[in-house]
């Protein structure tokens, strides 16, 4: 991008104002946040399963530790601040996709309930979500009671959840809660009370009876003619249209849901290009996928080199490729080839991320991308 002297000064001033605004938001949010608050998590596709309920046996919330992969292991090894812990928060984007984000929060008792409380709309919670280009999922003033025992999380939501705008908002909320709670190792099922009472459905017909388990996240719509009994789900990862986060998507396929199918489906792009970004450039094809000694070797046609024309140099697309491949057991790393020749990722990253979205990195990467655009004089 060629910039005149005046244009460059304007962009520099805009970037400085952006950084200052982010700093003010962070400081204000910290000032507003209650001492016992934490961040929250959400994912969709909860599947209803009726099972006999065990009698309530409250357990210490320290048993409900979120399994957050490498970041949590680093903290356990003393590599992070001892007063902090990582937890996975599920927000939603402007299109209703649920987006998991790893956040660092103060160590505290009752972390599961505190995580859920940060899913409730409020000035502080909404500003934190907005920093990431995302939104909270529970209505304002919702209160939550939570008991965890024998793998079952019993949650009582106040009557505010009966005032959701429509069935889509209700479904996202229920799925978000189920996905949030099942991120914790002590939870594999969730049951609901609404204002202390059992209900079959919410106001717009969303089921809340029985017990819920973790399900497929962001399930793509399928054609009525598709035989779901003969299909299998495969997880794909796409950059959001904002370029700031990676969105996990579940697609039903009539093939073996292995790495070959996943990469082929990823190369086809998202079902709705207006909401998510394609991983491979236009006109690019997949030649083959090979796995050797735990290394996934992806071979694309020559158009793949156009990836560097993305505003971030293709970094998010490469990350989505790596996440899609390494979800499969035995895949330890990814190599990319273009017309059979090794591809130099340059500024892109082919390393395996600790998590698909990390809160601090999202803000940092956004600033870096804007800075690169300002100083690009090619």
209, 245: one domain: no
The pLDDT tens digits of the residues spanning 314-363 come to: 999 999 999 999 999 999 999 999 999 999 877 666 888 889 999 988 87
Supply the pLDDT for residue 35. 35
- Does residue 63 surpass a pLDDT of 50? no
* Rounded to 5°, angle at Cα 32 from 31 and 38: 100
The verdict on residue 50 lying in a domain is yes
Burial status of residue 149 (CB atoms within 10 A of its CB: 0-12, 13-18, 19 or more): middle
* % the chain with pLDDT above 90: 56
* Both tokens assigned to 171: 């479904």
What pLDDT does 362 receive? 87
Whether 198 is in a domain gets the answer yes
The pLDDT of residue 175: 95
At which of 144, 179, 213 does a domain end?
213
CB 136 within 8 A of CB 116: no
- 194 and 49 housed in the same domain: yes
- Smallest Cα–Cα separation from 92: which of 124, 133, 134, 140? 134
What mean pLDDT value characterizes the chain?
81
260 lies in some domain: yes
Domain boundary among 213, 245, 279: 213
Going by pLDDT thresholds of 50, 70 and 90, the confidence category of residue 38 is very low
Helix, strand or coil, per DSSP, at residue 267? helix
CA distance 270 to 220: 9
Length of the chain: 378
Q: Which residues have a Cβ under 8 Å from the Cβ of 292 and sit 6 or more positions away?
A: none
DSSP-assigned letter for residue 54: P
Pick from 338, 356, 110, 367: nearest CA to 246: 356
- Could you give the C-alpha distances from 126 to 136, 246, 288, 341, in angstroms and in order? 6, 20, 44, 46
pLDDT of 55 over the 60 cut: no
Question: What SS3 class is residue 301?
Answer: coil
Could you tell me if 298 and 321 are in contact, meaning their C-beta atoms sit under 8 angstroms apart? yes
Does 232 or 313 have the greater pLDDT score? 232
Cα pseudo-dihedral 236, 241, 244, 247, rounded to 10:
-20
- Distance separating alpha carbons of residues 189 and 152, to the nearest angstrom: 5
My answer on whether 313 and 199 are in the same domain is no
Most confidently modeled range among 83-87, 141-145, 313-317, 349-353: 141-145
For the residues 108-122, what does the mean pLDDT come to? 89
Q: Phi and psi for 195 in degrees, rounded to 5?
A: 55, 40
Task: Assess whether 142 and 190 both reside in one domain.
Answer: yes
What number is the average pLDDT over the span 146-153?
97
pLDDT for 115:
87
Q: Please indicate, yes or no, if residue 347 is contained in any of the structural domains.
A: yes
The total domain count for the chain is 2
In a domain, 370, yes or no: no
Q: Are residues 199 and 236 in the same domain?
A: no
pLDDT number for residue 84: 85
What's the whole-model pTM score? 0.76
Confidence band, pLDDT 50/70/90 cuts, at residue 309? confident
Residue at 2 is within a domain: no
Residues spanned by the domain of 265: 228-357
Does any domain span residue 117? yes
243 and 196 in a common domain? no
64 pLDDT band, cuts 50/70/90, is very low
Residue 32 has pLDDT above 90, yes or no: no
Q: Kindly state whether residues 179 and 255 are assigned to the same domain.
A: no
Together in a domain, 50 and 166: yes
Residues 201 and 83 in one domain: yes
The pLDDT of residue 66 is 43
Residues 150 and 235 in one domain: no
User: Looking at the structure, do residues 196 and 238 belong to the same domain, yes or no?
Assistant: no
Both 207 and 247 in a single domain?
no
Per the DSSP assignment, residues forming a β-bridge with 4 are: none
Residue predicted with more confidence, 191 or 76: 191
**Number of helices (H), then strands (E), in the chain:** 8, 13
Does 179 or 370 have the greater pLDDT score? 179
Lowest mean pLDDT, pick from 7-21, 69-83, 230-244, 258-272? 69-83
CA distance to 35, 92, 175, 309, per residue, from 119 (Å): 16, 10, 12, 36
29 located within any domain: no
């Amino acid at each position: 991008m060629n910039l005149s002297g005046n244009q460059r000064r304007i962009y520099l001033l805009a970037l400085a104002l952006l950084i200052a605004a982010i700093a003010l938001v962070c400081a204000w949010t910290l000032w507003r946040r209650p001492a016992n608050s934490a961040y929250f998590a959400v994912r969709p596709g909860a599947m209803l399963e009726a099972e006999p309920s065990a009698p309530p046996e409250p357990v210490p919330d320290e048993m409900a530790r979120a399994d957050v992969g490498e970041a949590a292991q680093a903290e356990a090894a003393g590599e992070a601040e001892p007063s902090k812990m990582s937890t996975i928060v599920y927000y939603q984007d402007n299109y209703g996709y649920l987006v998991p984000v790893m956040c660092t929060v103060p160590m505290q008792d009752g972390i599961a309930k505190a995580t859920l409380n940060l899913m409730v709309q409020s000035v502080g919670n909404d500003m934190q979500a907005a920093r990431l280009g995302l939104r909270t999922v529970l209505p304002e003033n919702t209160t939550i009671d939570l008991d965890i025992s024998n793998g079952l999380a019993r949650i009582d939501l106040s009557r505010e959840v009966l005032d959701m705008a429509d069935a889509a908002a209700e479904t996202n909320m229920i799925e978000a809660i189920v996905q949030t709670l099942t991120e914790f190792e002590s939870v594999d099922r969730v049951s609901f009370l609404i204002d202390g009472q059992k209900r079959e459905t919410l106001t717009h017909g969303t089921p809340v009876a029985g017990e819920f388990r973790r399900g497929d996240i962001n399930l793509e719509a399928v054609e009525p003619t598709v035989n779901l009994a003969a299909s299998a789900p495969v997880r794909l990862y796409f950059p959001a249209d904002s370029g700031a986060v990676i969105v996990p998507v579940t697609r039903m396929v009539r093939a073996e849901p292995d790495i070959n199918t996943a990469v082929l489906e990823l190369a086809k792009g998202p079902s709705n290009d207006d909401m998510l970004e394609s991983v491979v450039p236009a006109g690019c094809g997949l030649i083959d996928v090979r796995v050797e000694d735990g290394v996934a070797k992806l071979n694309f046609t020559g158009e793949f080199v156009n990836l560097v024309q993305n505003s971030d140099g293709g970094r998010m697309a490469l990350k989505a490729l790596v996440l899609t491949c390494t979800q499969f057991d035995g895949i330890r790393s990814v190599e990319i080839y273009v017309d059979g020749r090794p591809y130099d990722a340059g500024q892109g990253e082919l390393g395996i991320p600790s998590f698909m979205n990390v809160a601090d990195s999202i803000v940092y990467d956004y600033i870096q991308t804007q800075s690169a655009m300002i100083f690009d004089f090619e």
